[in-house]
Structure 1
Amino acid sequence: MNVDHPEDNLLIVRAFGRPDATASTMTGVNENGGVWKVTDPSGEHEHVVAWPSGQISERPEIRREVVLLYKAACEALGVSPREEHEPASDHPRGKHGAVEPEDEDKGGKPFSTVIRESSWSDHSDSERATFMEDIMKGRGTKQDYTDLVAQHFFMYEALEAAADSVLGDPAFEGFHVPALVRLPSLEADLRYLMGDDWRDRITPTPATAAYVARIREVSEARWVAGIVAHHYTRYLGDLSGGQMIAKRVAKQHELSGEGVAFYDFAELGSIPAFKDDYRAALDRLGASLSTAERADMLEEVRTAYGFNTAVFVDLGKRKAAAV
């Protein structure tokens, strides 16, 4: 929901299961519905409301479903909806801007919100790269998925080494926990998908090699905010849209656990709760940075998204060349 209209969150949860709610903030989305943090006389609760149209698979569909929920809530509660809630375009940010969950804005937007809003178009570009779009829409082959997993291995090998290098830095506190580590699951997935000799059979695309080089450059400089920029781009994506990808791929290619272990964050516990904690860590980090340092970090987030898009483009070229 748009940060300009926090009352819309309250309308939705009151209409769909929490009639006594006094406060509500949207904290997450998945293919089945939206997730809200709700306060009512009995305390705080996590509340899920199903999408009106059923399961979704594309990020732009979120805006449509939130608008439908808002209108249905208004009808149920006898409230007249605002005309401005009509979708203005097919752009995933819709008419007002970001449609992802908003953090509470106390005297200015939290840094986590600034990061998300500043990089939304870059994120959308990444998702809309043809190779990735094919996987997300179920048009990709099992080999396409395997090729993607191979590139993830190189990315996370560099990223998790970078994270390990600053684990003791107070500025990095709250970002990297053991349950977040993906390298062992990537190795297991590749072993399942390709066999025991998988390591000898994979190579990074030029874009992946450049991405890895940038992560290592940032790490060698011990630039914590830069490491967080890459960490945020990858892990928060894995915990959000990545969960949709996992279900799509598992169903399409009949994978059950093995082959999609990379996307299994069961050991992390509640994903919405972890994402709340992660955003809080981003806000703390942002508060410790100067204006120039925050701008540099925002630019690095956009750089990371650019690398991801370039990797997908390279994979598309590699696929076309193999035909």
Structure 2
Amino acid sequence: MVTNFSDDVISGVTRHMNGDHMADNLLIARAFGHPGATSSTMVGVTGASGRWLVTDAEGEHELTVEWPGGPITERPEIRREVVALYTAACAKLGVPARDEHGAQPQSDAADASVDAPAAAPEDRPFSVVIRESSWSDHSDSEGATFMEDIMRGKGSLQDYIDLVAQHYFMYEALEAAADQVAADPRFAGFHSPSLVRLPALEADLVHLIGADWREQIVAVPATLEYAARMREVAAEGWAAGVVAHHYTRYLGDLSGGQYIAKRVAKQHDLPSAGIAFYDFSELGDLAEFKNQYRAALDVLGEQLDEAERARMLDEVRAAYAFNTAVFRDLGQAKLAVA
């Protein structure tokens, strides 16, 4: 019997892959079925395989690739098998594999342990340490696969509207938090004015709901807790804690979020006003911006002592947990009205 992972696990893995490993998704797509792929987004995970939506010159395709090591049943095994797929894809395409994955030679990649020895955190760039921290376990849930349905084009327009509404409450808190620590030199390299999302969210909500959108949207419990935590961190004046939330939200929007925008715009025939939240054209080259952002994370890591680095990593994990809890609440709310 194929193991079906919880919505929390699926959203955690896909958000990580689409936020930090889009190039790896593309390598996997090109190596395992679509050599002309121009984009690839991970949309699902089961105990038997990973699933990607791939675009090439012929259109859009769903790609399912079985795990090299065979069926899996536990959350930590997913990372091992993704690493094995990445390593095998590199071997097939003649591309050198990165060591930061803990990737093994193809001959023993399927047997690589998720706990295999790696460089000590203090020997790696802080951006890499943060990236890898998002592989931490997420709790099980009974929620539907809310975010996976949107990414696969199976969600309704109302699902997307509900997601946009939660984004409004999140970014209202996040951007207020950014303003509170803006004078802290450690935060200076992170928050460009072009990142601000509230005006775009307001425009989207006017288009999607109407002028009275403020009276119609409601935050789910997890969103309220998420926003409260961001306000708490900002009230403390903890710049590194604000960066933890800033990183998990904005880099996801700049990566996997770009695919979501394309998907929902096509599925629901939305103009730019309906997906303005995902339009970061004022930033210029998004790949270059993300590289600069990660460089700023490395600088921040050098300024923090060991205890503060550990505390920030815990906050990154908390931010991911809040995010997946929001998806769970949205899925449960959808089931309640079905």
Q: TM-score, normalised by structure 1?
A: 0.73
Alignment of 1:105-144 (within 5 A): 108-121=123-136, 130-144=145-159
Please give the alpha-carbon distance, in whole angstroms, between the structure 2 residues aligned to 1:211 and 1:267.
28
Please give the alpha-carbon distance, in whole angstroms, between the structure 2 residues aligned to 1:203 and 1:270.
35
**Residue in 2 aligned with 1:29?**
22
**Residue in 2 aligned with 1:83?**
107
Structure 1 stretch displaced more, 266-275 or 240-249: 240-249
The change in CA–CA distance for 1:282 and 1:82 in structure 2 (over 3 A counts) is: same
Deviation of 1:299 after TM superposition, in Å, equals: 0.4
**Residue in 2 aligned with 1:160?**
175
Please give the alpha-carbon distance, in whole angstroms, between the structure 2 residues aligned to 1:302 and 1:272.
24
Q: 1:171 aligns with which of 186, 208, 215?
A: 186
The change in CA–CA distance for 1:138 and 1:162 in structure 2 (over 3 A counts) is: same
**Is the contact made by 1:53 and 1:65 (CA closer than 8 Å) also made in structure 2?**
no
Letter in 2 for 1:184: P
**Is the contact made by 1:233 and 1:301 (CA closer than 8 Å) also made in structure 2?**
yes
| 3-state SS, counterpart of residue 237 of structure 2 | coil
Letter in 2 for 1:239: L
**Residue in 2 aligned with 1:68?**
89
**Is the contact made by 1:122 and 1:302 (CA closer than 8 Å) also made in structure 2?**
no
Letter in 2 for 1:72: L
Alignment of 1:218-257 (within 5 A): 218-257=233-272
**Is the contact made by 2:25 and 2:42 (CA closer than 8 Å) also made in structure 1?**
no
**Is the contact made by 2:195 and 2:280 (CA closer than 8 Å) also made in structure 1?**
yes
Deviation of 1:120 after TM superposition, in Å, equals: 2.1
| 3-state SS, counterpart of residue 232 of structure 1 | helix
Letter in 1 for 2:40: I
**Residue in 2 aligned with 1:303?**
318
Please give the alpha-carbon distance, in whole angstroms, between the structure 1 residues aligned to 2:165 and 2:185.
32
1:197 aligns with 2:212: yes
Please give the alpha-carbon distance, in whole angstroms, between the structure 2 residues aligned to 1:122 and 1:263.
28
**Is the contact made by 2:175 and 2:196 (CA closer than 8 Å) also made in structure 1?**
yes
Percent identity of the aligned residues?
A: 59
| 3-state SS, counterpart of residue 58 of structure 1 | strand
**Is the contact made by 1:193 and 1:259 (CA closer than 8 Å) also made in structure 2?**
yes
The change in CA–CA distance for 1:160 and 1:320 in structure 2 (over 3 A counts) is: same
**Is the contact made by 1:163 and 1:176 (CA closer than 8 Å) also made in structure 2?**
yes
Gaps of 5+ in 2: 1-19, 28-32, 44-49, 53-81, 96-104
**Is the contact made by 1:159 and 1:230 (CA closer than 8 Å) also made in structure 2?**
yes
**Residue in 2 aligned with 1:23?**
none
| 3-state SS, counterpart of residue 56 of structure 1 | strand
**Residue in 1 aligned with 2:7?**
none
1:57 aligns with 2:41: yes
Q: 1:260 aligns with which of 266, 271, 275?
A: 275
**Is the contact made by 1:51 and 1:65 (CA closer than 8 Å) also made in structure 2?**
no
Q: Deviation per CA, 1:149-183, whole angstroms, max 9, x where unpaired?
A: 00000000000010011112100011000111111
Gaps of 5+ in 1: 1-26, 35-49, 75-80, 89-94, 99-104
**Is the contact made by 1:131 and 1:140 (CA closer than 8 Å) also made in structure 2?**
yes
Deviation of 1:28 after TM superposition, in Å, equals: 6.1
Alignment of 1:267-282 (within 5 A): 267-282=282-297
Q: Deviation per CA, 1:38-72, whole angstroms, max 9, x where unpaired?
A: xxxxxxxxxxxx96363433165685467334312
How many residues are matched?
263
The change in CA–CA distance for 1:32 and 1:258 in structure 2 (over 3 A counts) is: farther
**Residue in 2 aligned with 1:18?**
none
**Residue in 1 aligned with 2:16?**
none
Q: Aligned-pair RMSD on alpha carbons?
A: 3.0
**Is the contact made by 2:22 and 2:41 (CA closer than 8 Å) also made in structure 1?**
no
Please give the alpha-carbon distance, in whole angstroms, between the structure 1 residues aligned to 2:92 and 2:266.
32
Letter in 2 for 1:57: T
